[in-house]
Amino acid sequence: MTTDADGEYRATGYAWYVLSILFVVYILNFIDRQVISILAEDIKRDLNLRDEDLGFLYGTAFGVFYALFGIPLGRLADSWHRVRLISAGLALWSTMTALSGLSRTGGQLAAARIGVGIGEATASPSAYSLISDYFPKKLRATALSIYSAGLYVGGGISLFIGGLIVQNWNRAYPGGGPFGLVGWQAAFLAVGIPGLVIALWIATLREPVRGLSEGLAQEPHPTPFKAFFEELVTIIPPLTLIGAARHGTRVLVTNVIAAAVIIGIVLLLVSFGEPLPQWIAVGIGVYAVFSWASTLRFRDPPTFALIVGTPAFLCTVVAYGLNAFLSYAAGFWAAPYAMRDLGISPAEAGLILGGQGAVSGFLGVTVGGILGDRLRRKHPGGRLIMVALGAVIPAPFMAIAFTTDTPIVLYVCLFLAQFTASWGLGSSAATTQDLVLPRMRGTATATYFIGTTLIGLAMGPYLAGRVSSLTGSLSTGMLSLLVTVPVTLAAAIAAFKLVPAAESSREARARAAGEPDLA
């Protein structure tokens, strides 16, 4: 990081090189996460699953544990070597993706998806923190948007590669190929193994000085893994009881009561016929996050004050979490809808949906980030305008896409829906980074991703699949999710109004909560 003539920090060529490699990592992240979409119809047939089971495998099994481990891994990103953490995480999730290809039952595939979620939880907290240290605040939304574009490029590539492999493999080996593997299993292996090589490349990056881009350079944490394990016992059940007990009987009793209430709600939902695995997973996620947040108040009051105790931060998380609720559902169910309802082949669906998804998402998230940065110059909460627009504009395009019987209409509407929905990603991410101190960025990122996982990924694809199973119509399943749009808009408007005061008082509130570096 160097300074310009005015003494402000500016991004170097090496910073852009790092960003390009992190972009590749995020592409791999979403290839491994998203490839199950184009394989869903074959998995459903071979493992005798229902639409709600597919939604569970894609969203909940992955998303809950991604969110659950994201917080302690986010803390590790705040205190340890971020480059090493990403490299290790990439090796883990690539291995688990490959193991998905060896699954013979839905349970085995669910276990592998949990492993993918845990591994991928290392990536964005570390990457967001690295990018925020390599790029000055005025370029942060642009840089984070470029990184985040890997989401759409990876998702698009996964559909193309997955569709091509599954169709050609099944054509070449109708009864199963080497080792009895069918097309969808071969596809998992093909996209998982290359990540092990890329993990070695990631390990060559330099670790920047934490906080230097804002003139708040910080010394390395003396005991990073001690902090990690302390965080772990606050969020991984049943270790959460130990974490709560450390802060007194009152905290422990509150924790137990919360667990009992969540168990009661899960049992009630199951009594109404809801699937047990889905709601056990969601219940674990909700309880784990509650346990973590309730103890964070005692363990790190400044971080609690700037994240959980800041309404502007929470509204931003909810606004983009509900945006992701729709986006993840559409991203997963578009390929099955095209194949099931419109009769499109896996290779064609993968090529067209994957290609247009990569282009529309890349353009949308980049344009959204650039416009968000410009709007911020005019108003401190200007980036939230892009979040609001990204919630409202895609709705009619999604409604048309999932009711049409014409492939070209589906493709065009999905392109426009994804282009506009992705406007808010970089801006919402940058907003959360601006609301916290440099040492809190990994934790802030993990908290931000709770919204896009527990709210978006764990619920959106599943609920669309559940309604589809109940009604026999995937169109009805997708359309039912549009009822959340007004709530998303309200959260974005609230964040727009709250962010300016929250950002301007950031240091003062941290100091009041006991931040030692600002005393």
- Please name which of 87, 101, 121, 80 lies closest in space to residue 193, comparing C-alpha atoms: 101
Most distant pair of Cα atoms in the chain: their distance:
69
For the chain, which residues score pLDDT lower than 50? none
Q: Under a CB-based contact definition with an 8 Å cutoff, are residues 90 and 489 in contact?
A: no
Do 122 and 73 meet the contact criterion of CB atoms below 8 Å apart?
yes
What's residue 146's pLDDT? 86
Reduced 3-state DSSP string for 117-166: HHHHCCHHHHHHHHHHHHCCHHHHHHHHHHHHCHHHHHHHHHHHHHHHHH
8 A C-beta contact, residue 210 and residue 439:
yes
Residue 456, CA distances (Å) to 63, 187, 296, 427, 462 in order: 9, 26, 24, 17, 10
Q: Give the whole-angstrom CA distance, residue 127 versus residue 83.
A: 8
Distances (CA, A) of 333 to 34, 100, 321, 350, 419: 11, 20, 18, 12, 17
How far is Cα 436 from Cα 517, in angstroms, rounded to an integer? 14
Cβ neighbour number for residue 81 with a 10 Å cutoff:
16
Sign of CA dihedral 126, 33, 398, 414: positive
What does the pLDDT read at residue 219?
Answer: 63
- DSSP for 417-481, written as a single string: HHHHHTHHHHHHHHHHHHTS-GGGHHHHHHHHHHIIIIIIITTHHHHHHHHHHHHS-HHHHHHGG
All residues at 6 or more sequence positions from 456 whose CB lies less than 8 Å from its CB, including other chains: 63, 321, 322, 323, 324, 325, 327, 328
Angle, CA 437 vertex, CA 431 and CA 442 arms, to 5°: 75
Report d(CA 129, CA 436) in Å as an integer.
Answer: 11
Q: How far apart are CA 207 and CA 23, in angstroms?
A: 17
pLDDT at 414: 96
Neighbours of 356 (CB within 10 A): 21
Structure tokens at 102: 């060896």
> Which residues sit opposite 3 in a β-bridge?
9
Calculate the CA dihedral of residues 268, 272, 277, 278 and round it to 10 degrees.
-90
The sign of the torsion formed by the CA atoms of 159, 163, 169, 170 equals: positive
Nearest to 442, CA basis, from 17, 13, 72, 2: 72
The whole-number pLDDT of residue 518 equals: 65
Q: Contact 393/367 with Cβ under 8 angstroms?
A: no
Judge if pTM exceeds 0.75: yes
Q: At 204, phi and psi to the nearest 5?
A: -85, -5
Q: Which helix (H) or strand (E) holds 296?
A: helix 276-299
Q: Please give the Cα distance from 199 to 91 (Å, whole number).
A: 6
The length of the chain, given as a count of residues: 519
Scanning the structure block, which residue is given the tokens 């990056």?
205
Query: How many beta carbons lie within 10 A of that of residue 504, not counting itself?
Result: 11
* pLDDT for residue 341: 94
Burial class of residue 2, CB neighbours in 10 A (0-12, 13-18, 19+): exposed
CA–CA distance, 281 with 392 (Å, rounded to integer): 30
For 242-266, how does the pLDDT look when each residue is reduced to its tens digit (9 = 90+)?
Answer: 999 999 999 999 999 999 999 999 9
